Amino acid sequence: MDKRTKEPKRIGVVGAGSWGTALANLLAIKGYTIDLWAYETEVKQDILEHRENKLFLPGVTLSDRIVPSNDLETVVKNNEIILIVVPSHTMRSVAEQMASHISKETIIITASKGIEDGTYLTMFGVLEQSLPTLDSDNLVVLSGPSFAKEVADKVPTAISIASKNIEVATHVQHIFSTDYFRVYVNDDPIGLELGGAVKNIIAIAAGFVDGMELGLNTRAAVITRGLAEIRRLGMKMGANPHTFSGLSGVGDLILTCTGDLSRNYTVGKELGQGKTIAEIQAKRRTVAEGVRNTKSVYNLAKKLGIDLPIINEVYKALYEGSTPEKAVKRLMTRPLGHETSELF
């Protein structure tokens, strides 16, 4: 058996937000011992004392197999499989701290969604740069329509796993799969990541629609044309266009654009109701990923010379003082065009 694909007894999870905690608990319930790195001391103490992450995943009893720690080195060096679930803007700094504690054969799985500002790299690309000794065949992306609370409650869920090495992807597929968490394999990491990152921006636009009470027709138009923009960007960056018809594309897009559990959608909804982004962020402990990634994707599209009208309007609303009302007006009065030719 390839050393990379032997059955692990312990798995390290870096990041104890809602998604990291939910995935850690899923793996622990399957029987793995989980070393869980939490940035916040209070999260570690709550898990140790109450078996609950009261800050990020309240109301969920966590397995005794989860061993919380605030020591990143301990979590990383003890494990040959590491799942990273940190905010995209912290990925590089966390990965650089991990670099000296992993081997070439370590399998690194990213479940974080985002594009790094400035470099315009997906998390896969950030990890390739930050972990230079790692074999890139051992980098895996996990993405798909999955609210953390629902996974923690064992609601039937389907997601995708992608790697350049399909054998490694299949190995990770079997590690994560349960009777309520179905995992499909894919060989298009960039497609999975772009679907997961850019849909957050479209979800903000869908929130505009519902905040303004414009109706279901409008929301359907935003989701459909938003998918065209994701696909357009993805094809320019070398992704497989079929990936965007799958779970990490249209699946995640529909979920994030229609669910009140989506932070990105709720940010957009409050903007549509007339609140400012400063007012919205002031009452939140964490920033919705789509807010940061709007700037990254907007600048990336300019660099690549492609037109992303909905994303442009979200950028204007978040960073240039425009409004959702103006966004809708501009989008509806753009020059008329051919639907399918605009996908490419």
User: Please, are residues 16 and 56 in contact by the beta-carbon 8 Å criterion?
Assistant: yes
In one-letter notation, the amino acid at residue 285 is: R
The phi and psi torsions of 54 (rounded to 5 degrees) equal -65, -25
CA–CA separation, 304 vs 37, rounded Å? 37
Q: For residue 320, is it left (φ>0), alpha (ψ between -120 and 50) or beta?
A: alpha
DSSP string, 93-116: HHHHHHGGG--TT-EEEE----B-
HEC secondary structure over 204-251: HHHHHHHHCCCCHHHHHHHHHHHHHHHHHHHHHCCCCHHHHHCHHHHH
- First and final C-alpha spacing in the chain: 43
Helical segments of the chain, H only: 18-29, 41-50, 72-77, 91-98, 123-130, 148-152, 166-176, 189-211, 216-236, 252-258, 263-272, 277-282, 289-304, 309-319, 324-332
Other C-beta atoms within 10 Å of 341: how many?
7
Query: In whole angstroms, what is the distance from residue 96 CA to residue 111 CA?
Result: 17
Cα(289)–Cα(197) distance, integer angstroms:
8
Reading phi first (left if > 0) and then psi (alpha if -120 to 50, else beta), residue 15 is in left
Give the integer Cα–Cα distance in Å for 266 and 208: 9
Give the dihedral sign, CA 325/336/304/243. Answer: positive
What amino acid is encoded at 2 in this protein?
Answer: D
Catalytic residue positions, numbered = 199
Q: What token pair was written down for 230?
A: 């994701």
